[in-house]
Structure 1
Amino acid sequence: MVLKPASGGHTGPVSPAFRFSLIFGAQFASLGAALPFVPAVLTAGGLSAQQVGLVLALGTGTRLLANPWAARIADRTGLRGTLALAAVVSGLLLPLLGWGQGIAVLLAIYILHSAAVAPIVTLSDAAAIAEIRRRPFDYGRVRAWGSVTFILAALAAGQFVGLWGAGSALYISCAALLATGAIALTLPPHEALPPAARGSMWEPLRHPAFRRLLPASALIQGSHAMYNGFSTLHWQAAGLSPGLVGALWGAGVIAEIALFVFGRRLVEKLGARGLAMVAAGSGVLRWSVTAVTVDPWVLFPIQLLHACTFGAMHLAAIRSLGALPPALGARAQALHTSLGVGLATGVMMVVAGPLYAALEGHAFWAMAGLCAMGFVAATRLGR
């Protein structure tokens, strides 16, 4: 799959690239608004810290299970309709979290929301890959809008929460998901697969290229678990202010956006294998340095490697998945998201807690070790 702009054709505001920019922007705005504040909403609903952890964990498990089944439904009914329905249902369920009280009600709402929201990014990526095969565009630049809106929505939600409480963030997220559903209906049509082409939900696992991608993604993306779960605690314990910690996180996302926007030539030159090897090697360096210092002058430049550890590996996965037979698109995306990223990250998040409790910052050495193994797995990918 060639991830580059087409030489001609659709250049106006209704081009496929423009529409995919909109849908990625809308769905990641939803994540940016809700993700930081859902725990506070659950706490306001009367849940203890342990109950909040249980609800979030069960939601993660639900998303892992729902993703492949949603892809199966998309194969039978079409991508656009499944994506639009998932976005609308998940959006309408979100505000109910702000009204619910008690573990039983909030858990039921959150599980239903998790099942509906699970396939949105996956199906959007699958639709983008399918369209790139027909009319090539620069996936990185299109996907970058998701990172931009994530930051902007998180900032906006923070202001709303300061004025009207944590529940107000859910309405921003709901509006963004409803917009996602509306935009999904404007995407280029990709109809349901005929029965003879559907095959098993596990069909992608028959392809060696897909089986080689899973361990590389699991090891490299899973290495972010310690960072996502405990870097803020680690840095604040070392005396870094909340503002400085936020700036460190922001620097990583900005670097990711820069790769997506300006990295087309590099992506074409390296291919999937080269991108994954860069991601793994950068992870060894990034987590090793994070393990030994909390000096902001060192952390800021090392945070820029987020463009490599996350961004480059994501682009490597998109290229690898795009090289599979088109009929496998939605299923391959879903299985990769669930098994290659979600399950690995969830397992590593469970392991990260005891590791950090025992080793504090030195626990990042374990993440460097994962990336070292990921480098070996990356060498087995095709371009």
Structure 2
Amino acid sequence: MAEGRTTSGGVASGTLLRGSFPAFVCLQGTLYAAYGIESPFLPSFFGERGLTPGEIGLVLAAGTLARLVAGPVAGHVADRYDATRLVLGIAAAAAGVISFGYLAGTGFWTLLAVSMVHATAIAALAPLADALTLRAAEREGSFSYGWVRGAGSAAFVAGTLAAGQLVGAMGLASVIVASGIMFLAMAAASVGVPAVPARREASVSGLTGMRTLLAQPLFRRLLSVAALVIGSHALNDGFAVILWREAGIGPGTISLLWSASVASEVVVFVLVGPWLLSRLSPVQAALLAASLGILRWTVMATTTAVPVLAVSQLTHGLTFALLHLANMHLITETVPPQLAATAQTLYGTFGLGVASAVLTGTAGLLYGWLGAGAFWVMAALCCLALPLAPGLRPGAE
């Protein structure tokens, strides 16, 4: 029998296609396509339905709070009953169905209620999908988690581009329909991915699993470093485009700058990140991400020269994707299987969600007060991560 062609990672392409890799690409692709379609235009949809800017902010903030509570609960349920895939499928189906509730909503209280229920449903989708992907990649050995996550990032971009076309052709309601369909497609895709094999270890009841993880110095440091370095991207996500427009940079150039950062993210997830992590320890990866974060935000604080910005944007894959990959490896290596889903949802909630929510909420105040100088604050956050990074190794105090 002829052997399959080999991928860049040395895995036969035939083996790759026969494994669960295509199923996980479909799972993560539909998830991030749904996010890419919905997230940029949801605030505008609320405005079209009569909400004031202040009410839109309250609705979005309430959704964030709902996710912060619902995520760890869903992770605990998935671990408690050894049912990660089932919980994921139910949550994705619920997210799809609830999405259509926005279409019937008018007025602040109705849309607030729909938003909170929808946020509850989507809270654990990414963490649970990551938990399944990581375990399958480790078990099968034929693909890397980064390959799947990179496909998700590409799907997010494709979804955002498609949403822009939909809004132009059919209005804002079309993106609600499209994102709902993609969440339902994710629910269907969840059936095709393998469940985590039944474990022999006893499940952890109550809040014991969360307390066990949060009591571990390594896990707490992981959350802290992620919150500082990945959280520091919040100001960039919200105000980089505003800063560049105020500096006279045209929309075409801005699109290229933004695309460069997304492209670097995909390249690191799929190619560079797995290669680097085979040569760097999690400590070294975190130090590299934090150091480049300091450099990146220093550039943003001091110049709007397009060539310099272009180089700076290309570091996004290392300031975000590399650290995220390193954290996924650490969680896989150090967290017991019976707490995998709980660990992922705690990481998504406290390592990413809380920091991003707080920093996004204060970004406007910082930018209004300091302008481009607000990026010095983001650089300072990355500086704070440097002394914490050496603790990202098993056995470190």
- TM-score band by shorter chain is over 0.9
1:32 is aligned to: 36
Letter in 2 for 1:259: V
Say which of 364, 372, 377 aligns to 2:388. Answer: 377
Give the conservation status (yes or no) of the 8 Å contact 2:67–2:120.
yes
SS at match of 2:269: helix
Letter in 1 for 2:148: V
Letter in 2 for 1:143: R
* Aligned length in residues: 380
1:310 is aligned to: 320
1:177–1:44 Cα change, 3 Å: same
1:326 is aligned to: 337
* Distance across 2 between alignment mates of 1:128 and 1:272: 19
1:6–1:132 Cα change, 3 Å: farther
1:55 is aligned to: 59
Structure 1 residue 234 displacement after superposition: 1.3
Letter in 2 for 1:36: P
Deviations 1:278-326 (A, max 9, x none): 1101100000000011121211111011101111111111011111211
Say which of 209, 216, 220 aligns to 2:225. Answer: 216
Give the conservation status (yes or no) of the 8 Å contact 1:84–1:184.
yes
1:195–1:265 Cα change, 3 Å: closer
Give identity over the alignment, percent.
Answer: 37
2:3 is aligned to: none
1:12–1:279 Cα change, 3 Å: closer
Alignment pair present for 1:83 and 2:93: no
Give the conservation status (yes or no) of the 8 Å contact 1:291–1:364.
yes
2:4 is aligned to: none
Structure 1 residue 341 displacement after superposition: 1.0
* Distance across 1 between alignment mates of 2:199 and 2:108: 40
* Distance across 2 between alignment mates of 1:98 and 1:247: 34
Structure 1 residue 73 displacement after superposition: 1.5
* Distance across 1 between alignment mates of 2:118 and 2:252: 31
* Distance across 1 between alignment mates of 2:222 and 2:330: 7
Letter in 1 for 2:189: I
Alignment pair present for 1:171 and 2:177: yes
Structure 1 residue 353 displacement after superposition: 1.8
Structure 1 residue 194 displacement after superposition: 7.4
* Distance across 2 between alignment mates of 1:284 and 1:232: 19
Letter in 2 for 1:72: H
Give the conservation status (yes or no) of the 8 Å contact 1:74–1:192.
no
* Higher mean C-alpha deviation, range 29-38 or range 260-269: 260-269
Letter in 1 for 2:125: I
* Distance across 1 between alignment mates of 2:57 and 2:116: 13
Structure 1 residue 75 displacement after superposition: 1.6
Give the conservation status (yes or no) of the 8 Å contact 1:76–1:193.
no
RMSD (Å) for aligned C-alpha atoms: 1.9
Structure 1 residue 148 displacement after superposition: 0.8
TM-score normalised according to structure 2 size: 0.91
* Distance across 1 between alignment mates of 2:145 and 2:353: 22
* Distance across 2 between alignment mates of 1:14 and 1:84: 23
Structure 2 residue ranges without an equivalent (≥5): 1-7
Query: 1:108-147 counterparts in 2 under 5 A?
Result: 108-136=113-141, 137-147=143-153
SS at match of 1:270: coil
Say which of 339, 360, 376 aligns to 1:365. Answer: 376
1:345 is aligned to: 356
TM-score normalised according to structure 1 size: 0.95
* Distance across 2 between alignment mates of 1:72 and 1:10: 36
Deviations 1:161-189 (A, max 9, x none): 00111111112211211111111111112
Say which of 85, 95, 98 aligns to 2:103. Answer: 98
Alignment pair present for 1:278 and 2:283: no
Deviations 1:222-242 (A, max 9, x none): 111111121121111222223
* Distance across 2 between alignment mates of 1:205 and 1:193: 23
SS at match of 2:17: coil
Alignment pair present for 1:290 and 2:300: yes
2:154 is aligned to: 148
Give the conservation status (yes or no) of the 8 Å contact 1:75–1:192.
no
Give the conservation status (yes or no) of the 8 Å contact 2:80–2:203.
no
1:20 is aligned to: 24
Letter in 2 for 1:17: F
* Higher mean C-alpha deviation, range 239-248 or range 361-370: 239-248
SS at match of 2:196: coil
Structure 1 residue 193 displacement after superposition: 6.5
Say which of 245, 250, 260 aligns to 1:236. Answer: 245
